[in-house]
Amino acid sequence: MTDETVLIRCRNCGARNRIPVARLQENPRCGRCKTPFPAISVTSRPVMVTDATFARDVLESPLPVLMDCWATWCSYCGALSPILDDLARTYAGRLKVAKLNVDQNPATANRYSVMSLPTLLFFRDGKLVETAAGALPKAEIERYLYPLLNH
């Protein structure tokens, strides 16, 4: 187990709660208003997102989300894939790594004006906070992640 913590914003009162990752599975509640947090996925693998599940899996995620917009024919996306797997393992419980197939889910891709592949979208508290295009190295993606994970 890890002694890492994660900041989770309460949907009821807006308070930010710092919770040990090791306790995320114990149905934590907001320290101020005692509202239970929604179930928090601590999966160590990327989650496949569709137009139908995007709102729930990304916008309503208590954890920050890194979403990869990709397509089967995109060779750069293939190169990025093992890096995303690696990030999902490294930041399990602190970050959700999601993947959106843009050919099968055009509504979400259009909503965020995804023009080139791969495109990485960074979400926190239901808002798009950063966009990065191209098959970036792991260290560069982590530079985008730091502000999401630490504030």
The minimum distance between CB 122 and Zn ion, in angstroms, equals 24
Query: What's the DSSP call for residue 46?
Result: P
CB atoms within 10 A of CB 6: 21
Q: Is 10 in the site for Zn ion (CB under 5 A)?
A: yes
One DSSP character per residue, 49-111 reads E-TTTHIIIIIT-SS-EEEEEE-TT-HHHHHHHHHHHHHHHHTTTT-EEEEEETTT-HHHHHH
The minimum distance between CB 17 and Zn ion, in angstroms, equals 8
Nearer to Zn ion, 36 or 82 (CB): 36
CB 42 within 8 A of CB 35: no
The minimum distance between CB 33 and Zn ion, in angstroms, equals 3
Q: Is 39 in the site for Zn ion (CB under 5 A)?
A: no
Alpha carbons 128 and 102: distance in angstroms, whole number: 17
Q: Note if 10 is an active site residue.
A: no
CB 98 within 8 A of CB 66: yes
Amino acid identity of 83?
Answer: I
Nearer to Zn ion, 10 or 87 (CB): 10
Q: Is 30 in the site for Zn ion (CB under 5 A)?
A: yes
Q: Is 58 in the site for Zn ion (CB under 5 A)?
A: no
Q: Is 32 in the site for Zn ion (CB under 5 A)?
A: yes
Nearer to Zn ion, 3 or 18 (CB): 18
Nearer to Zn ion, 36 or 147 (CB): 36
CB 76 within 8 A of CB 134: yes
Taking CB under 5 A as the criterion, the residue among 15, 48, 55, 79 binding Zn ion is 15
Positions touching Zn ion (CB under 5 A) are 10, 12-13, 15, 30, 32-33, 35
**Active-site residues: which are they?**
74, 77
